[in-house]
Structure 1
């Protein structure tokens, strides 16, 4: 019996899904999951609410779809830590990648932060199955560099937490940063050089 292949979505369907997801990203990053509504997403997308529900079953499916996409891109810089590279260069390259992601994807950073602040109700399985094994792998790699005397003795877990917090701060607390550093376009102009100096001094044996 021949198998039935799923019908490929049309260009209009692909475009509308992208339009909805982009609108939802804006709404969720601004209001959080609890504060966001389908009406707000529909208004942001310039589509009707029934049109939104044609593509997604509801707010939760849209949110989960965004989080799934986010995890793929969010983990990539950490995955790229190369065991064969120079340890200090690899870690500083990771810091620079995180700054660039903050610059390019501030809404995604706030979406992730809002989910975690709510206890990760929709993302917990991904944290366990995706992030935790990668985190353990890369902290073990950093520990091996420490044991070999190639970087200073620090706790690898807190090092990664520090990189996350210092880079993503500029997106998650953008409104505050812009008030305190109004001439710096949100503070990112000097952030990369500052964080490079900070982590270089911390990690140099």
Structure 2
């Protein structure tokens, strides 16, 4: 185990509510399982999973204030769907408060809410682990996504993004531009595979 993990667990347990802390542990364990499956670095997966929601202790308006204070660029669509901003601010916190310098870990934290086009393996692992971790129980397709995640990361990305867009459209929620771009990217990968 990475020697810093115990320290970060203690800090997060002090700062997050108990259910958010348990979720963060579950995401880190799920990320490690996916890392084992895809031959990715276990320590990076564990660290990114553990810290992915480190900014979740703040409400939307407080995160907006903190992003502005630290001069993090805020897009209009992020302000319309501020729930995604904990990822952006979380990446900042991971770097500036927790001392994380690894760009792959910071990227995985940054993109775990919206996704983006051309995600790295760790980006996909954290995005997917956040969706499928064992404590999640609300999405109707969880069992299928949990199985699919261990056979095809790109197809899992497509299916989760597709489900997210359908859900947000049905609720009349604002959809972040990056989520749309990520969906189109993974949709194109899927279509190219079908042609091959």
Which TM bucket (shorter chain)? Answer: under 0.3
TM-score, structure 1 as length reference? 0.25
- Larger helix proportion, structure 1 or 2? 1
What is the TM-score normalised by the length of structure 2? 0.25
